[in-house]
Amino acid sequence: MKKLIAGNWKMNGSAGTAGSLIWEVESKIQAQPDLLEECDFVVCPPFVHLETVKEKCRKVALGAQDCSQQKNGAYTGDISAAMLNDVGAQYVILGHSERRQYHKEDDKLVHDKAVAANAHGLVTIICVGETEAEREAGRQNEVVGAQMEASIPQTANHKNTVIAYEPVWAIGTGKTATADDIRDMHAFIRGQLSQKMADAAEVRVLYGGSVKPSNAREIFSVPNVDGALIGGASLKADDYIGIAAATLS
C-alpha cells in the first residue's frame, strides 16, 4: 500500500504563504515523480486557505482540519462536510488532540463528525493517542482502544477512513515514540480494526508526532505504519518532501 503523507498546517500562514507552500510542494513532486509510486499526498490548510491551495493542487489532495457534525443551519462559526466537499476537499482530520484538548471534543462528537464527513464523500483521518501520564501508567492500549471503539463509525472502511496514532506527548515537542512503541501500538490498532471491519488490513494507519526527514525512514520501516501525519515539518516544502523521500529505497 502507498504511504499517505499528510500535512497538517494547523493555524499557520497567510493566503500568500499557503499559496507558495503548495506551489513549492507540487514543484518538488514534479521534479521527483518516483515519489508518486510510493506515496499519496494530502495537505490540510486552515479553512480560509482551502480555495487558494486547491487552485494549485495537482498531485496533492486537499484536506481540512475539522468539520461540523451538523448538516447546515444556525451553527455560527462552523463549517459543514458538504462545504468542504464543495471547495474540493477530499480528506478531513477529525479528533486531533488539539481539538480534543482546546475544544473539549469527545469521542461521540468525533464519531458524529465522521458520519457527516463520510456522508459527503470525505475520507476521515481520525486521530487517537494517549497523554504522557496515560503512557507512564501503562494505559496506552486501554485509552487508544476506547477512543477507537467510540469514535470510528460502523460504516468505516479502508476507502473512507484513515487512522492516525499520535501520542499527545510527541506532538510538537520534538519527542518521538520509539520504533518499538510505534510497532506495538500500530499492531494493537490493526487488531482493534479487524474486530470492527472486514477490510481492516487495508485501512491506513498513520503515525504522527514530531515526524521529520531524519526519523521518517525508521518510522516508515515499522510494520503497520502506512504513512505520517505531519505538523511542524509540513510547513517547509523541503522537510515535507524529505519525509516522503524516506519511502524510497
Q: How many CA atoms lie within 13 A of 83 on its CB side?
A: 17
Contact 239, 207 (CB under 8 A): no
| 149 among known catalytic residues | no
Task: Write the DSSP string, 90-134.
Answer: -EEEES-HHHHHHS---HHHHHHHHHHHHHTTPEEEEEE---HHH
Which three cell numbers, joined as nine digits, stand for 158? Answer: 479502508
Q: How far is the CB of 234 from ligand PGA (least distance, A)?
A: 7
Instruction: Determine if 231 is a binding residue for ligand PGA (CB under 6 A).
Output: yes
Q: Does 128 bind ligand PGA (CB under 6 A)?
A: no
| 96 has catalytic annotation | yes
Rounded least distance, CB 120 to ligand PGA, Å: 23
The packing angle between helices 140-151 and 107-119, to 10°, is 40
For ligand PGA, which residue has the nearest CB? 231
Does position 171 bind ligand PGA by CB under 6 A? yes
176 lies in the site for ligand PGA, by CB under 6 A: no
**In the complex, least distance from residue 89 CB atom to ligand PGA, rounded to whole angstroms:** 17
Choosing from 166, 197, 225, 243, the residue that interacts with ligand PGA (CB under 6 A) is 166
Give whichever of 65 and 80 is closer to ligand PGA, judged by the CB atom. Answer: 65
Pick from 29, 211, 222, 237: which binds ligand PGA (CB under 6 A)? 211
Q: Which of 19, 88, 145, 232 binds ligand PGA (CB under 6 A)?
A: 232
Task: Choose which of 3, 8, 18, 128 interacts with ligand PGA (CB under 6 A).
Answer: 8
Question: How big is the CA angle at 100 (ends 231 and 96), to the nearest 5 degrees?
Answer: 30
All three cell numbers of 157, joined, read 472502511
Q: Which residues contact 74 (CB under 8 A, 6 or more apart)?
A: none
**Interface residue list for ligand PGA (CB under 6 A):** 8, 166, 171-172, 208-211, 229-233
